[in-house]
A = this chain, B = another copy of it.
Amino acid sequence: MKKQIVTISRQYGSGGRYIGKKLAEKLGVSCYDEELIDMVAKESGFAEEFIAEKGERITGSLLFNIASNLSYANNVFSGNGASLQDEIYFTQSRIIKDLAEKGPCVIVGRCADYVLREREDCLNVFIHADEESRIKRAVTYFGITEDDVPSAIKKKDKARYNHYKFYTDQEWGLAANYDLCLDSGELGIDGCVEIIAHVLEAIQ
């Protein structure tokens, strides 16, 4: 079946977000990444910073988990015992489903591959890269010092892994979860954009 929605999951520093943006430009469709944060903020009432932090990551902080559950017990929006993180996940999942319903687009992160698993018109892509390439990107584009990047990579990937595992019960980064996985360090950012566009063309 012709694919018209591309979901992009990515390792930190692999350029996945940028690949999504460039791909959307090439295809002439919308790319939803940080735009999703605004949408979730508007619908949920949570602060944008909070959504950016918790929208696709679960940290190992017991304190946060306890705090979010305690505070949620007093939250007027729900009495179902869900955490703040759950509320963000459910809201952004609803928004992702609505966006997919509207037509062709690229959606970066936020378990979109899983959220849209019942749609047959999604191409689910995972972008990764070798550590050297990721360090280089993080230093150049995220303003992190070279010494700090390895621990940032480990921490961010782990938080994304935990988040994906928690909400999908699947292993983040396992090839079998995606239609197409690409090494952007080996294939290049433009190479990945071109390959994804080619695959979209090839599947009818």
Contacts and interface: CB of A to CB of B under 8 A. Distances in A.
Nearest to A180: B182
B181 A178 contact: yes
A204 to B, nearest CB: 10
Contacts of A202: 187, 191, 194-195, 198
Q: Most chain-B CB neighbours within 10 Å: which of A128, A180, A181, A188?
A: A181
Contacts of A173: 174-176
Contacts of A180: 180-183, 187
B203 A191 contact: yes
A101 interface: no
A176 B199 CA distance: 20
A interface, how many residues as a size bin?
20 to 34
B175 A181 contact: yes
B199 A195 contact: yes
What is the copy number of this chain in the assembly? 2
A175 B187 CA distance: 14
Contacts of A11: 176
Nearest to A182: B180
Interface string A2-22: 000000000100000000000
Nearest to A191: B202
Contacts of A176: 11, 128, 173, 183
Interface string A90-108: 0000000000000000000
Contact of A187 (B128, B174, B199): B199
Contact of A179 (B179, B183, B198, B199): B183
11 contacts: A128-B176, A173-B175, A174-B174, A175-B181, A178-B183, A179-B182, A179-B186, A180-B181, A180-B187, A181-B181, A187-B199
